[in-house]
Amino acid sequence: VQLQASGGGLVQAGDSLRLSCATSGRTFGDYVVGWFRQPPGKEREFVAAINLKGGSIFYADSVKGRFEISGDKSKSAVALNMSSLKPEDTAAYYCAARPAQSMRYSSFYYPTRDWYRYWGQGTLVTVSS
Q: How far apart are CA 53 and CA 55, in angstroms?
A: 6
Q: What is the mean pLDDT of residues 30-57?
A: 96
Strands (E), 8-114: 9-12, 17-23, 31-38, 45-51, 57-59, 67-71, 77-82, 91-99
pLDDT band at 27 (very low <50, low <70, confident <90, very high): very high
**What are the pLDDT digits (tens) for 68-121?**
999 999 999 999 999 999 999 999 999 999 999 988 899 999 999 999 999 999
The pLDDT assigned to 112 comes to 96
Average pLDDT, the chain: 96
